[in-house]
Amino acid sequence: MDKKLNIINTDFKDLYIIEPNAFKDERGTFSRVYCEDELKDIFKFHIKQINHSLTKEKGTVRGLHFQYEPYAEIKMVRCIKGAVLDVVVDIRKDSPTFLQHFSVELTEQNQKMIYIPKGFAHGFQTLKDDTELLYLHSTVYTPSNEGALNINDPLLNIKLPLNIINLSTRDEKHQFLTNEFEGVEVNEV
């Protein structure tokens, strides 16, 4: 059987882009989102939680969020309506890509997914109104273990394509990093 998912390496350890090979005909398209056999080399978790978000306004930013151990999570994110610039920041202690960021455009047309390992902060900016994302998580959300980075932190130097028109008060108030930030420890899966 032909593979229906393309797994693309990035310059960040364990961070992948996954592209479906969509079948198209006069009825529309069909694509595989998840296949245990095809993802077995990278998919290092059981799905514990699935989230869905709707963001109403183009230019809105959500994130950059993560969870500390023992609830650090792996995520797989897909845009099912609209478009986002998805951004992740490597905050793994002693990582060769520590505090570097990676971004990818996820759209309903390109159907790309991003596989985000433990130790990355995650966020996105909507590029269209009424954008919806679907997230697969390796652990349940645990508010007491949540951490966050400020998307406007000059140390991160993240360039977004649009002016931020909506950012939650909570995300806006996250402190900027200092040179003392050494990163987070993550347990291997």
Q: HEC states along the chain?
A: CCCCEEEEECCCCCCEEEEECCEEECCEEECCCCCHHHHCCCCCCCCCEEEEEEECCCCEEEEEEEECCCCCCCEEEEEEECEEEEEEEECECCCCCCCCEEEEEEECCCCCEEEECCCEEEEEEECCCCEEEEEEECCCCCHHHEEECCCCCCCCCCCCCCCCCEECHHHHCCCCCCCCCCCECCCCC
Question: Considering the chain, what percentage of its residues have pLDDT values greater than 90?
Answer: 77
In a domain, 178, yes or no: no
Q: Which residue has the higher pLDDT, 189 or 24?
A: 24
Residue 89 lies in a domain: yes
28 lies in some domain: no
Convert the pLDDT of each residue in 75-109 to its tens digit: 999 999 999 999 999 999 999 999 999 999 999 99
Q: What domain range is 127 assigned to? A: 45-172
Percent of the chain with pLDDT over 70: 97
| pLDDT band for position 1 (cuts 50, 70, 90) | very low
Residues designated catalytic: 65, 135
Q: Is residue 143 part of a domain?
A: yes
How confident is residue 2, by pLDDT bands cut at 50, 70 and 90?
Answer: low
Is pLDDT at 39 greater than 90 in this prediction?
Answer: no
pLDDT tens-digit map of 121-152: 999 999 999 999 999 999 999 999 999 999 99
Is the pLDDT confidence value at 156 over 90? yes
Q: What is the CATH number of the domain that holds 150?
A: 2.60.120.10
User: 179 in a domain, yes or no?
Assistant: no
For the chain, how many structural domains are there in total?
Answer: 1
